[in-house]
Amino acid sequence: MGTIADYTGGFILESIRKALHFFDSTEGPLTHDEKGQRLHKNINEFEPLILSFNQAAEYIRNAKSIAIGKRVCRALHPESALTESVFLNELAFAMAASGDARTATIEEAEECQQKSAGHPLIISKVSGEYLEICPSYPPDCIYWLAEKRGLHCLQRMGKP
């Protein structure tokens, strides 16, 4: 499972880099590949959910603390579309303290998500709680790339 310390310590970025390298260096479905299965298990621990703008707004409104920062994997693709993620609660505190994000109000977080319209919103569990809402960029996103290679990981959040 990804932890808050993994986000502030750079470990999560390194894990994404390795996963992208694995996808780039292989072809076809990975469902029967041993490394593919290990990666699938690691990815599933984030329990990623695709959510609507309104569902994301509900998480934002219920958060104790909010921060905004570049989506984590963009550091690996600086030329790609810029989208910013919203971090919640303890992850927001930690990302702001490490300088990886800036604290934000509810309105700023909602505005940030409106600016990223067209990028599917994905919420991920970090340290056991849903704390990261990313306007994903499918060509570089490990979740979407895993799906393309047969490693099903994305669920759509049910209607409230």
Q: What are the residues binding ligand SF4 (CB under 6 A)?
A: 16, 71-73, 122, 134, 136-137, 141-143
What is the smallest separation between the CB atom of 134 and ligand SF4, expressed in angstroms? 3
C-alpha closest to that of 133 among 97, 80, 86? 86
For ligand SF4, which is the closer residue by CB, 67 or 72?
A: 72
Helical segments of 62-105, H only:
89-97
> Residue 20 is inside which H or E element, if any?
helix 11-24
Report how far residue 156's alpha carbon sits from residue 159's, in angstroms, rounded to the nearest whole number.
9
Shortest spacing between CB 147 and ligand SF4, in angstroms:
11
Helices and strands: H and E segment counts in the chain = 7, 7
Nearer to ligand SF4, 32 or 47 (CB): 47
Q: How far apart are CA 130 and CA 46, in angstroms?
A: 9
Choice between 104 and 153, CB closer to ligand SF4? 153
For the bound state, the minimum distance from the C-beta of residue 135 to ligand SF4, rounded and expressed in Å, comes to: 8
Residue with tokens 């909010």: 66
73 vs 109, beta carbon nearer ligand SF4: 73
Least CB distance to ligand SF4 at residue 141 (A):
3
